Amino acid sequence: MSSFFDKVKASVAEAGDKVKAGVVEAGNKAKTVMEINKLKLQNNSKLNEIERQYREIGKQVFEAKQLDSAAALSSDDLEPFMNTIKGLQEEIEHNLKEIKFLSDDNVIVEQAKNDKPVVLMQYEPEEKEEK
């Protein structure tokens, strides 16, 4: 009888360990999802700032043209905007790499034709057919 109870006790202990491991894993996954979402939110803010910079460049060009001084508008005038945009693009690229790392290669990052990052999509591997 003692052997039976020892087996039951061992089975219960093993099940408890599996449940505890599952809870820890779920907690880790939740932290990872939160970090990924934080990075996505940062990227959205950076994309909005890039759009704001583009609008400001357009405004500068428009105002120069209105004053008929398009020739007076030099690339030096636009350089700060260009540098800001390039810096933001680099930060976005870094965040995308971090997201890919955190998601353990389960996320595919797509780029638009203008090298602007776009929506991330979840990659689900195809199931292998059993013969």
State the average pLDDT over residues 73-102. 92
Q: Of 42, 37, 43, nearest to 111 (Cα)? A: 43
The answer to whether 39 touches 99, Cβ cutoff 8 Å, is yes
Residue percentage of the chain with pLDDT more than 90: 36
The confidence score (pLDDT) of residue 107 equals: 45
The confidence score (pLDDT) of residue 122 equals: 45
Residue 52 CB coordination number (10 Å)? 13
State the average pLDDT over residues 86-114. 76
The confidence score (pLDDT) of residue 22 equals: 74
Token digits of residue 20? 């505890």
CA–CA gap between residue 112 and residue 91 (Å, rounded): 17
CA–CA gap between residue 90 and residue 86 (Å, rounded): 6
The confidence score (pLDDT) of residue 113 equals: 45
The letter for the amino acid at 1 is M
Residue 91's contacts (CB-CB under 8 Å, 6 or more residues apart) are 42, 46
